[in-house]
Amino acid sequence: MAPNAAAPAPPAGSHAAPAEFPAFIAEQQPQGYQAGFRRLRDADLPPLPVLVAIEYSSLNYKDGLAVTGRGKIIRRSPMVLGIDLAGTVLESSDARFHRGDRVLGIGQGLSETDWGGYSRRQRLRPELLMPLPEAFTPRQAMGIGTAGFTAMLALMALEEAGLRPERGEPAREIAVTGAAGGVGSLAIALLAARGYRVAAFTGRPQLEAYLHRLGAARIVPRAELAGTPPPLASERWAGAVDNVGGATLANLLAATVAGGAVAACGLAGGADLPLSVYPFILRGVRLQGISSTHCGPEKRQAAWQRLAGEMPAKTLDAVSRVEPLSRIVPLSQAILDGQIQGRVILDVNA
């Protein structure tokens, strides 16, 4: 079925069952990958226990890949895209959720194997949902979304590796790459709030003031991590949160101090890792992969509890903006081109 244009939105906050509603759907067709808006009814949704009226979703790098077809994201076709969602339960046959509950869902197969959040209504497996923390509205929760959740998992991984804020001068820095993006912006804010000295790597010098406001102590041109990495470099970083991968990650590891740790959570710069074993066997550097998808319920709950206590509303206001879901195609292209600052919250009713 060919995608159609989105229809006008119902009044904000309306949970009455519409005859039809738009959803952004990707399909593998004989003529190739297609993605666009299509009109659905409740009967078209999967026969799953929890029906949610979605209020907001968000835009992540992974969403950009799925919307444009530039990455193999969807595992079933057709697929409603959107790896994040927040809204209100309308119906539930599962004892864990009741009508009126505010819930959120991020990752865990949404937009890959389970229909996701780029829709006004969705039926979901209960294990994909969790109660919305009282500290956040649905809009604020999507200002965090997968990006902020990933940033918190990265911070937790660095702490588990033994990193603590250094006191006095000169304090070793924590490097954050892709600093002006969603994960990078929120990682800077979380690290700075905990007392770490943050060096923010970016290719957009015009955003220096923005990064300083988030808590970065120093802004570093991303070109400093480009080029062929040496087997080992002078010790420079106490640790790092890397959103880029490739040569950038290899250069970070080569210059990380003995006993340091790097949390890797992105591949915008490539999936290859051209490095030697020297940082690991000579300095005991730890490389910790971060997966927001494969994360058990206890750690997921712990991360959101910490976000509720450590992510002030003013930070979310500084890093996020609301856009209508109707603009998902140009926004997806922009995030892949490195043109998005911070977080984009998507109003699915607009």
Domain boundaries, the chain: 21-132+314-347, 146-289
Q: Residue 169: which pLDDT band, with cuts at 50, 70 and 90?
A: low
Residue 78 preceded by cis peptide, ω within 30? yes
Kindly indicate whether the domain formed by 21-132+314-347 is annotated with CATH number 2.40.50.100.
no
Rounded Cα–Cα distance for residues 343 and 201 (Å):
17
What pLDDT shows up at residue 31? 86
250 near 229, Cβ under 8 Å? yes
Tell me: pLDDT of 151 over 80: yes
Model pLDDT for residues 222-257, shown as the tens digit of each residue? 999 999 999 999 999 999 999 999 999 999 999 999
Q: What pLDDT, on a 0 to 100 scale, did the predictor assign at position 69? A: 94
Model pLDDT, residue 256: 97
Mean pLDDT, the chain, integer:
92
Residue identified by tokens 């970070």 is: 252
Residue with the larger pLDDT of the pair 13 and 128? 128
Flag whether pLDDT at 5 surpasses 60: no
Q: What is the per-residue pLDDT for 4?
A: 37
Name the CATH superfamily housing domain 146-289: NAD(P)-binding Rossmann-like Domain (3.40.50.720)
Q: Which pLDDT does position 65 carry in this prediction?
A: 95
Fold matches, 21-132+314-347 and 146-289: no
Look at residue 166 in the predicted model and tell me its pLDDT.
81
Provide mean pLDDT across the span 158-187. 91
Q: What is the model's pLDDT at position 170?
A: 72
pTM recorded for the entire structure: 0.91
Q: Are 261 and 283 in contact (CB under 8 A)?
A: no
State pLDDT tens for residues 110-150: 999 999 999 999 999 999 999 999 999 999 999 999 999 99
Residue 13: what pLDDT?
Answer: 46
**Ramachandran class of 284: left when φ > 0, alpha when ψ lies in -120 to 50, beta otherwise:** left
pLDDT on residue 15 = 61
> What are the E-state strand segments in 41-144?
50-59, 79-80, 84-92, 102-106, 121-124, 130-131
pLDDT at 2 exceeding the cut of 50: no
Q: Is 49 helix (H, G, I), strand (E, B) or coil?
A: coil
For the cut 60, the answer to whether the pLDDT of residue 3 exceeds it is no
What per-residue confidence (pLDDT) applies to 55? 98
- Please say if the pLDDT value at position 94 is more than 70: yes
Unique residue bearing structure tokens 């990682």 = 187
Task: Check residue 75 and report its DSSP letter.
Answer: S
10 Å CB burial of residue 13 (0-12, 13-18, 19+) is exposed
More confident residue, 192 or 5: 192
Query: Is residue 50 pLDDT above 60, yes or no?
Result: yes
pLDDT of residue 185: 96
Percentage above 90 pLDDT, the chain: 85
pLDDT digits (tens, 9 = 90+) for 313-330: 888 999 999 999 999 999
Q: What is the mean pLDDT of residues 60-80?
A: 94
Structure tokens at 318: 């500084």
